[in-house]
Amino acid sequence: MGAATVDTISNKRLVLGLGTSTQPLIEDFHGDKFERPLKRMKECVEIIRLILSGKTVNYSGEIFH
């Protein structure tokens, strides 16, 4: 991941901002329903943490499978 690389070369000074996006972007551009944005964000953070742990990721959540 690019953010992990920047964090490494910056001596752990990267602050990564994440957000739930907006309803028009999710629905009109991506064609997905803008339902449960906080649950979607929670699962995204869980997945990112798993990826950054270096382990093999096999994730099955309510939103992401």
What is the pLDDT at residue 1?
67
What is the pLDDT at residue 3?
87
Separation between Cα atoms, residue 65 and residue 63, nearest integer Å: 7
Polymer length in residues for the chain: 65
Q: Which residue ranges make up each domain of the chain? A: 2-52
| Beta-carbon contacts of residue 19 (< 8 Å; ≥ 6 apart) | 41
pTM metric for this prediction: 0.73
* Burial class of residue 37, CB neighbours in 10 A (0-12, 13-18, 19+): middle
What is the pLDDT at residue 4?
86
What is the pLDDT at residue 20?
93
Consecutive 10-residue averages of pLDDT for the chain (65 residues): 89 93 94 94 95 92 93
Separation between Cα atoms, residue 42 and residue 45, nearest integer Å: 5
